[in-house]
Amino acid sequence: FENHPAFTLGHLVSAAALTSKYLGGSYELNPEWENLFRRTGPGDPRKPEANTSLYPANEQLLEALTKQHKRVEGLILNLDKARFAEPTQWRFVEHMPTLGDLLFFIFFTHADIHLEQLSACLMDIGFSSSLVTFVCGSCEPCSNSTSNPRLNCSMSNSFQSIPIFAP
């Protein structure tokens, strides 16, 4: 896979940092990760670094992704809804000209594309294709909590042990 799991997670971290900037927050990304994870999408000649020893550990990537998502969540919850109609300046402005268009792309399309890549990589090394398996490591529906199945699930931390650099 061109976008191997370590790159994919880090790229989602960098995308969340950039999303924070579009929402009026600061762009906060470990400077060492900048060149490792930034790509501008289709047509970008840069390819993910194949040498996986250059990538942060799984735990660091997941921690950074969680931190970035919390920052973006705070910004979006406090965003003046009128800003969704504001024009943006970015590579795909002719297709997605407003902040609302950009956010929809980032939150749904971009994230889904890369989560599917990650899922395909995990399936390639023997994990189930089930979303439940991807999220918590269990092939069975979780019955520990009716409002949030992951909240009290004994398997909820299993994903953190999935080997990102599997052979």
pLDDT tens-digit series, residues 93-105: 888 899 999 999 9
What distances in angstroms separate CA 7 from CA 53, 70, 71, 95, 135, one per listed residue?
Answer: 12, 20, 21, 26, 18
**How many beta carbons lie within 10 A of that of residue 42, not counting itself?**
7
Question: Which secondary-structure segment (H or E) carries 16?
Answer: helix 5-22
For residues 7 and 48, the answer to whether their CB atoms sit within 8 Å is: yes
Q: Where are the alpha helices (DSSP H) in 23-164?
A: 31-37, 58-77, 99-104, 111-124, 131-136
- Amino acid at the residue 30: N
How far apart CA 55 and CA 30 sit, in angstroms, is 12
Q: Quote the longest CA-to-CA distance of the chain.
A: 48
User: Other CB atoms closer than 10 Å to residue 150's CB: what's the count?
Assistant: 15
Q: Which long-range contacts (CB under 8 A, 24 or more apart) does 77-81 make?
A: 79/23, 79/24
What confidence score (pLDDT) does residue 128 get?
A: 67
User: How far apart, in Å, do the first and last CA atoms of the chain sit?
Assistant: 12
* Per-10-residue mean pLDDT, the chain, length 167: 80 92 94 83 77 88 93 94 92 88 88 78 69 44 40 40 38
Give the pLDDT confidence score for residue 129 in this predicted structure. 58
Confirm if 8 and 112 have CB atoms less than 8 A apart.
Answer: no
